[in-house]
């Protein structure tokens, strides 16, 4: 009753919003930042950024994909991938060639250097496993929960 209130009766006290530290979205955001920061010094000797590393992981699994196929795996569009792939090409790791059968598509193929880089990346997953400080079981649980979360958010978005 301290102060006079004129028109509205709302805003009596500050609107309740969850604190930043209690919000799942921020925990995810911070974890993504932490992964990026952890990867950076490990990828620096390979001359890759983290998104470039993800792209190489895709290509090491399956070579000769189109831009949109890579984008489908990573959830990125051509506006992100085109310049990224041009940088990988400039680094001599991939080639970009128009598909002869369908010239709209650009196929991304590993060069020998791009294939060879896989050797240098071999030790990275173990280092990250170690840095995570988590058991395999815990990681598996977390991975599964994040997968369901991502799928649910996607479905909610699709439902509008």
Sheet holding 94-98, edge to edge: 65-66, 106-110, 94-98
* 28 binding a second copy? (CB under 8 A): yes
In terms of Cα–Cα distance, which of 140, 160, 67 is closest to 108? 67
The distance of Cα 53 from the centroid of its chain, to the nearest Å, equals 10
* 111 binding a second copy? (CB under 8 A): no
Please check whether residue 45 is in contact with residue 120, taking contact to mean a CB–CB distance below 8 angstroms: yes
Q: Judged by CB under 8 A, which of 16, 101, 102, 103 binds a second copy?
A: 16
Q: Which does 95 bind (CB under 5 to 8 A by kind): DNA, a second copy, none?
A: none
Q: Which does 113 bind (CB under 5 to 8 A by kind): DNA, a second copy, none?
A: none
Minimum separation from the CB atom of position 44 to DNA (A): 10
Residues 10-39 interacting with DNA (rule: CB under 7 A): 29, 33, 36-37
Residue 89, SS3 per DSSP: helix
How many helices, marked H, and strands, marked E, lie in the chain?
7, 3
The neighbour count for residue 96, using CB atoms within 10 Å, is 14
Q: Judged by CB under 7 A, which of 38, 63, 96, 132 binds DNA?
A: 96
Residues 143, 145, 148, 151: is their CA dihedral positive or negative? negative
Q: Which does 109 bind (CB under 5 to 8 A by kind): DNA, a second copy, none?
A: none
Residue 91: HSE in the Cβ half-sphere, 13 Å Cα cutoff = 20
The site for DNA (CB under 7 A) is made up of: 29, 33, 36-37, 40, 49, 51-52, 66-69, 71, 75-85, 87, 96, 101-106
The site for a second copy (CB under 8 A) is made up of: 10-11, 14-20, 22-35, 37-39, 54, 57-58, 60-61, 73, 75, 116, 118-119, 121-122, 125, 128, 130-134, 138-139, 141-143, 145-150, 152-157
């Amino acid at each position: 009753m301290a102060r006079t209130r004129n028109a509205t009766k709302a805003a009596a006290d500050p609107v309740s919003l969850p604190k930043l530290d209690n919000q799942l979205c921020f925990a995810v955001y911070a974890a993504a930042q932490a992964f990026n920061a952890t990867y950076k010094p490990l990828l620096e000797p390979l001359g890759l950024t983290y998104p470039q590393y993800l792209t190489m992981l895709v290509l090491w699994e399956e070579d000769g994909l189109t831009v949109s196929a890579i984008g489908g795996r990573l959830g990125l569009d051509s506006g992100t991938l085109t310049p990224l792939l041009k940088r990988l090409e400039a680094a001599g790791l991939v080639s970009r060639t128009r598909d002869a059968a369908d010239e709209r598509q650009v196929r991304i193929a590993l060069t020998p250097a791009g294939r060879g880089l896989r050797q240098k990346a071999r030790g990275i997953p173990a280092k990250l496993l170690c840095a995570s400080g988590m058991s395999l079981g815990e990681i598996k649980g977390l991975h599964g929960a994040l997968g369901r979360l991502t799928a649910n958010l996607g479905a909610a978005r699709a439902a509008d």
